[in-house]
Amino acid sequence: MPSFAQHCAETELGFGQPYPQVHLWLDEFAGKPPYGMRHRKKRHHLAGIEEVRKLWGHEAAEVARLHIISDLKMEGWSESDPFPRDEAHYQRMGLF
């Protein structure tokens, strides 16, 4: 899994700023019971991106998409796979 610093660095390269608030929000449940590393189901999907859009705007939503794609690829997801829509779809896809 990319670290917070890696997510921020990737975002700074692509968007000119690190957007730490987006990365912290997406990973808010990481390592916390009962989720542990299965926290991604909570916000790593299209519904999570739309929440980011409401909180911080369109560019922040694109940052969230980049973060989520980086994490999904670590789980074996590829861009030819469907993008998870929400928590239930994420789990039905066999992701964690």
State pTM to two decimals.
Answer: 0.93
Name, in order, each residue with C-beta under 8 angstroms of 22's C-beta and a sequence gap of 6 or more: 11, 52, 56, 60, 63, 64, 67
Give the DSSP letter string of 13-60: HHHSS--HHHHHHHTTTTT-TTTGGGGHHHHSSHHHHHHHHHHH-HHH
pLDDT at 38: 86
Domain hosting 54: range is: 4-92
Number of domains in the chain: 1
Q: Tell me the pLDDT tens digit for each residue of 7-47.
A: 999 999 999 999 999 999 999 999 899 988 789 999 999 99
Asked if residue 1 has pLDDT above 80, the reply is: no
Distance (Å, rounded) from C-alpha 96 to C-alpha 90?
7
Q: Tell me the pLDDT tens digit for each residue of 32-85.
A: 999 887 899 999 999 999 999 999 999 999 999 999 999 999 888 999 999 999
